[in-house]
Amino acid sequence: MGKYSELMAIIRREAGVGGRMAVAFSGGVDSSLVAKAAVDAGLEVLAVTVDSPLFSRADMENASAVAREIGVNQIVVNGNYIPENTTMRCYHCRKNMAHLWRKSAMQEGFHVVADGITADDVEDAFRPGVRASTEENIIHPLSSAGFRRRDVVRVAKEKGLGVWNRPPNSCLASRISYGEEITLKKLGMVEGAEEFLHGMSGTVRVRMHGDIARIEIMPDDFGKILERRGEVVDALKKIGFVHVVLDMAGYRSGSMNEGIMPSP
């Protein structure tokens, strides 16, 4: 049995006789593949997307576009929760979101909710959100089928999902240094800075350390930023940053966790 067939089999088994499944849907490649597999497995599928200040407007628009592409019904749930900025931020935020997913799905008659957590996520010590989802009875079909990130990208491409090569993303709160208060203003600053820089690099993170914007992009794109450094500095200062720096290590996922021991 191929990985995708195994994924569909797991989804059918988890859905049970009802043949219905809600998917915690961000429009990223992981949750999109789960939704696609559920459709291909013959289920009635509901995409549940949380609209929050923690997510960019571009991400919200993308989620709706991908739901239409896959052909699933989507509901958008308002969520205004902003977590305390501790190393357990993702745990508490995921708990809140999982509650919204389940409550909204139940109101629509869907009793099983799946997310896009992969085997890589489960093995990552800095993913407390995985534990939060599991505690809230959100199922992880990709992880159960042994899908790693590379598998998700490969299969999504094979299945013709337009989002297959979309860079991984995370909430805007993850850009703000631990211990600093998360505010709507700061989230807006990060979103504005990243939106400006996306024209120069496909994968961009603007990490916020007080009044410093630390730009992470792929090393191959350094030249594009440096050629326009005056424009970049001016734009980010207008947004509200005082200092603008380019991280010479380049983009890497979860850089805010470097040097921090994971919580038990």
Distance CA 195, CA 172 (A): 12
Between helices 149-158 and 29-40, what is the axis angle to 10°?
50
Residue ranges per domain, the chain?
A: 3-158, 172-257
Helix (H) or strand (E) holding 70: helix 57-70
State residue 152's pLDDT score: 97
Question: 3-158 belongs to which homologous superfamily?
Answer: HUPs (3.40.50.620)
Secondary-structure percent of the chain, ordered helix, strand, coil, rounded to 5: 50, 15, 35
Instruction: Answer yes or no: are the C-beta atoms of 142 and 7 closer than 8 Å.
Output: yes
Distance CA 25, CA 23 (A): 5
Give me the CATH topology for the region 172-257.
GMP Synthetase; Chain A, domain 3 (3.30.300)
Domain pair 3-158 / 172-257, same fold: no
Instruction: Answer yes or no: are the C-beta atoms of 76 and 104 closer than 8 Å.
Output: no
Distance CA 118, CA 115 (A): 9
Q: Is 258 left (phi over 0), alpha (psi -120 to 50) or beta?
A: beta
State residue 259's pLDDT score: 64
State residue 167's pLDDT score: 82
Full pLDDT tens readout for the chain, 264 residues: 589 999 999 999 999 988 999 999 999 999 999 999 999 999 999 999 999 999 999 999 999 999 999 999 999 999 989 999 998 999 999 999 999 999 999 999 999 999 999 999 888 766 788 899 999 999 999 999 999 999 999 999 999 999 999 887 889 999 999 999 999 999 999 999 999 999 898 889 999 999 999 999 999 999 999 999 999 999 999 999 999 999 999 998 878 877 664 544
Q: Which two tokens stand for residue 204?
A: 């961009």
